């Protein structure tokens, strides 16, 4: 189906160089395959890059969200507020710990949680909300100062789902804050899946500025085990006659998981992290090129509007399409583009419309999320794309429409 010699353009993909390969090979030849010095080196570098005090690596973004819920101590009877326009994992994280989800609506144009939608969700949760998980959809940031104000007022913890937003900054009190610095949140979670800005194969990171939270995340990442004598409860078993901790001894107060990231994955993550600025610059340049080439198609097709004060590294390049005005529906356009070797995707069906959540919470009404969902289409965006690829996508898009001239 792919005409000509042009390679298929997926909506996103990894960018791997020889030095990434060499870094992984070095890890394979080292003494450690799982938790070794590269995990720590990666965590340190990630913390520096995001400006957070601590970064905890784990084996997926989803695991990171689950760890965050455990670190907050969320459980049955608690409610996590989740914008309904996100990937499944943000909401599922609440269910993993037995908490319920209160879906919040989003802005119809940016797809982001906003002041009114957060306030409405807090009211609906009738005092049971214990935390909120703002999602920086596509890369642009939720107004975190606004979230922090409402969170403080209602005693909510804040976990940023920053899986789309690594490398971006947002303005806070006149200063540009890197995403992940947790200036207005308890934790931020990242995914290093291959479609994301940098990759470690499968992997994730949680950042925080709180040492106790960091300790909890590390404990739940590895079975809930502790080897810290200060935490031992079974003192008769833990210590010898002279009061020294027994060398074999560890304890578990609450079960955790094996969510550890390996040295192999972290070697790739560390190598990729060094390229974040290069990738970011390339993504910004490609987005600017899309903006320019798509401008004549407005208002029927326009990019998701930018957020004031935010300098994102776009994970996805999303356009909002008035499908009536362009004379073709979304599935038709996607099929036509695919036939030309151009991959597109829809991010996302609002999660409250998934059968599991429909069954659990009934039919919910979130008009902002529906209006965004009905118009959105993600076009290819990844650092290895050339300027000519952007032109090819825009030309392909134009000829997939049934415009009446």
Ligand X SMILES: *Cc1c(COP(=O)(O)O)cnc(C)c1O
Q: Which of residues 299-318 bind ligand X (CB under 6 A)?
A: none
Q: Measure Cα distances from 212 to 46, 73, 251 in Å.
A: 19, 12, 17
Measured from the CB atom, the residue of 78 and 160 that comes closer to ligand X is: 160
3-state secondary structure of 301: strand
Binding mask 182-221 for ligand X (x = CB under 6 A): ---------x-x----------x-----------------
Q: Which of residues 4-63 bind ligand X (CB under 6 A)?
A: 60-62
Q: Whole-number minimum distance, CB 179 to ligand X, in Å? A: 13
Q: How many residues does the chain have?
A: 405
Measured from the CB atom, the residue of 93 and 401 that comes closer to ligand X is: 93
How many residues belong to the site for ligand X (CB under 6 A)?
14
Residue 86 binding ligand X, by CB under 6 A: yes
DSSP symbols for 151-208? HHHHT-EEEEE-TTTTT-EEEETTEEEETTS-TTSSEEEEE--TTSSS--SS-EEEEE
According to CB under 6 A, which one of 100, 107, 161, 186 is a site residue for ligand X?
161
Instruction: Count CB neighbours of 2 within 10 A.
Output: 13
Q: Whole-number minimum distance, CB 182 to ligand X, in Å? A: 17
Range in contact with ligand X (rule: CB under 6 A) among 139-147, 161-169, 178-186, 291-299: 161-169
Nearest to 318 by CA among 227, 272, 379: 379
Structure tokens at 242: 């002279």
Residue 400 binding ligand X, by CB under 6 A: no
Residue 378 binding ligand X, by CB under 6 A: no
Measured from the CB atom, the residue of 191 and 226 that comes closer to ligand X is: 191
Q: Whole-number minimum distance, CB 60 to ligand X, in Å? A: 3
Binding mask 54-73 for ligand X (x = CB under 6 A): ------xxx-----------
Contact between 355 and 336 (Cβ < 8 Å): no
Residue 163 binding ligand X, by CB under 6 A: yes
According to CB under 6 A, which one of 87, 220, 279, 290 is a site residue for ligand X?
87
Measured from the CB atom, the residue of 100 and 161 that comes closer to ligand X is: 161
Measured from the CB atom, the residue of 61 and 111 that comes closer to ligand X is: 61
According to CB under 6 A, which one of 50, 90, 110, 226 is a site residue for ligand X?
90
CA-angle at 97, arms to 264 and 151, nearest 5°: 100
Q: What is the 3-state secondary structure (H, E, C) of 69-128?
A: HHHHCCCCCCEEEEECCCCHHHHHHHHHCCCEEEEECCCCCCCCCCHHHHHHHHHHCCCC
Instruction: Count CB neighbours of 324 within 10 A.
Output: 9
Those residues with Cβ within 8 angstroms of residue 349's Cβ, 6 or more apart along the chain or in another chain: 373
Q: Measure Cα distances from 400 to 42, 301, 387 in Å.
A: 44, 13, 20
Residue 369 binding ligand X, by CB under 6 A: no
Q: Whole-number minimum distance, CB 394 to ligand X, in Å? A: 25
Measured from the CB atom, the residue of 91 and 333 that comes closer to ligand X is: 91
Range in contact with ligand X (rule: CB under 6 A) among 85-93, 116-124, 248-256, 281-289: 85-93
Q: Whole-number minimum distance, CB 361 to ligand X, in Å? A: 20
Nearest to 110 by CA among 303, 285, 382, 325: 303
Measured from the CB atom, the residue of 88 and 328 that comes closer to ligand X is: 88
List, in sequence order, every residue forming a beta bridge with 252; answer none if it has no partner: 225
Measured from the CB atom, the residue of 38 and 86 that comes closer to ligand X is: 86
Q: Whole-number minimum distance, CB 316 to ligand X, in Å? A: 9
Q: Whole-number minimum distance, CB 86 to ligand X, in Å? A: 5
Range in contact with ligand X (rule: CB under 6 A) among 107-115, 159-167, 215-223, 389-397: 159-167
Residue numbers annotated as active site:
196
Question: 150-170 burial, b for 16+ CB within 10 Å, e for fewer?
Answer: bbeebebbbbbbbbbbbbbbb
Q: Is the peptide bond before 348 cis (omega within 30 degrees of 0)?
A: yes
Structure tokens at 227: 């080897």
Q: Which residues bind ligand X (CB under 6 A)?
A: 60-62, 86-87, 89-90, 135, 161, 163-164, 191, 193, 204
């Amino acid at each position: 189906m792919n005409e000509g010699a042009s390679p298929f353009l997926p909506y996103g993909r990894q960018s791997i160089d020889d030095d990434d390969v060499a870094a992984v090979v070095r890890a394979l030849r080292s003494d450690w395959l799982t938790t070794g010095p590269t995990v720590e080196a990666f965590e340190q570098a990630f913390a520096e890059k995001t400006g957070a005090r601590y970064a905890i690596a784990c084996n997926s973004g989803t695991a990171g969200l689950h760890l965050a819920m455990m670190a907050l101590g969320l459980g049955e009877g608690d409610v996590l507020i989740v914008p309904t326009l996100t990937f499944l994992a943000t909401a599922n994280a609440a269910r993993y710990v037995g908490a319920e989800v209160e879906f919040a609506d989003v802005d119809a144009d940016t797809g982001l949680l906003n002041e009114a939608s957060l306030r409405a969700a807090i009211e609906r949760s009738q005092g049971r909300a214990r935390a909120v998980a703002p999602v920086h959809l596509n890369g642009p940031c939720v107004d975190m100062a606004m979230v922090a104000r409402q969170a403080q007022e209602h005693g909510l913890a804040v976990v940023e789902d920053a899986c789309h937003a690594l490398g971006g900054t947002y303005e806070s009190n006149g200063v540009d804050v890197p995403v992940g610095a947790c200036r207005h949140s308890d934790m931020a979670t990242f995914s290093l899946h291959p479609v994301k800005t940098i990759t470690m194969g499968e992997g994730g990171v949680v950042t925080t500025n709180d040492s106790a939270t960091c300790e909890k995340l590390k404990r739940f990442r590895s079975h809930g085990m502790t080897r810290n004598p200060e935490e031992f409860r079974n003192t008769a078993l833990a210590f010898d006659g002279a009061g020294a901790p027994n060398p074999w001894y560890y304890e578990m107060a609450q079960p955790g998981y094996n969510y550890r990231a390996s040295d192999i994955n972290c070697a790739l993550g560390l190598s990729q992290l060094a390229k974040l600025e290069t990738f970011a610059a390339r993504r910004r340049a490609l987005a600017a090129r899309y903006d320019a080439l798509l401008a004549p198609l407005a208002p029927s097709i326009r990019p998701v509007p930018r957020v004031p004060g935010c300098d994102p590294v776009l994970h996805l390049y999303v356009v909002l399409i008035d499908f009536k005005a362009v004379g073709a529906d979304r599935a038709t356009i996607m099929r036509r583009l695919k036939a030309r070797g151009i991959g597109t995707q829809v991010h996302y069906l609002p999660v409250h419309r998934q059968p599991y959540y429909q069954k659990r919470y009934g039919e919910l009404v979130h008009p902002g999320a529906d209006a965004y969902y009905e118009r959105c289409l993600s076009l290819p965006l990844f650092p290895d794309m050339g300027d000519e690829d952007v032109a090819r996508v825009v030309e392909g898009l134009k000829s997939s429409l049934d415009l009446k001239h």
